[in-house]
Amino acid sequence: MSEFEDSFIGFLQTHEIQHQKEFHPIFQRQVITAAQNVSFKLNKIGANSGLENKALWDLAKENQIKLIQIWEDLWLTKREISQSRVLAALGKIKKIHGRETSVVKINNNQLIDFLEKNHLAIPLKGKHKFGLLYRDQLVTVISFSYPRNFGSGDQKIKSYEILRFCHVNGHSVVGGLSKLLKHFIENYKADHLMTYIDKDWGDGEGFETIGFTKSNELAPGKFYIHPETKMRIQNISYHQTENKLDSTEKYILAYNSGSLKYTKLTKAGESI
């Protein structure tokens, strides 16, 4: 058993989560099943490039299994966030009712600070930023892009992308996303919303329950992991050329499971 696997299983044991390490008959791969129809596949740096993960995600979807990809680099460098996501997938987090929270505007510094502590992806600034306060504590944030206008005349619509959304580690705000979207639509007359779902962690079911529709599926994206620091580079064009990464830096190339694009067309001010 690797140190990575031992750490993950130890975490489940600490939280008294029943689990089973097994060679799954559907995936034909070793996974850790920790709840009915929820399995975790551990991706060790250098041993698994992730190229097979999209096909495994498709198999999981066909068989109504939630397959979550746990990458060693994120488990090492963003342990608390990763653990919180695992607990959330298993329904083992504290729930706050949205009616007990209030919507507030936040600035980019507050947004970035919250994302760095509670979101696995690269923190992004947003044009519009909001949060939910619970007992004077920020427990949820959401950010939106600049608007994009499509069509013309009476057919013109104003579209915004949801750039980031997350709760504070270990918690979930029931109805929080709906509350924030309703506030945004009413105040900014948004006709159309879109966002992307990371297939390593989910299938967009939460967005479907509030009226979003899957409009596209994106191919697996590649990223690089430094073999010593375990730091991840997701946007290679921003940092340096791909050829330099391959030849000199000796980063390890890996692929995620891809992503899903979800959209919602809504009359401005309509309740979600």
The rounded percent of the chain whose pLDDT value lies above 90 is 78
Which pLDDT band holds residue 249 (cuts at 50, 70, 90)?
low
pLDDT in tens, 81-129: 999 999 999 999 999 999 999 999 999 999 999 999 999 999 999 999 9
Please state the pTM of the whole predicted model: 0.90
pLDDT in tens, 171-182: 999 999 999 999
CA distance 83 to 49: 22
- Residue 272 pLDDT: 46
Indicate whether 25 and 100 sit together in one domain.
no
Domain that holds residue 81: 1-92
Query: Which DSSP category does 245 fall into?
Result: I
CATH for 124: 3.40.630.30
pLDDT in tens, 165-222: 999 999 999 999 999 999 999 999 999 999 999 999 999 999 999 999 999 999 999 9
Q: Residues in the chain, how many?
A: 272
Residue at 261 is within a domain: no
Domain count, the chain: 2
pLDDT in tens, 146-163: 999 887 666 788 999 999
47: left (phi over 0), alpha (psi -120 to 50) or beta: alpha
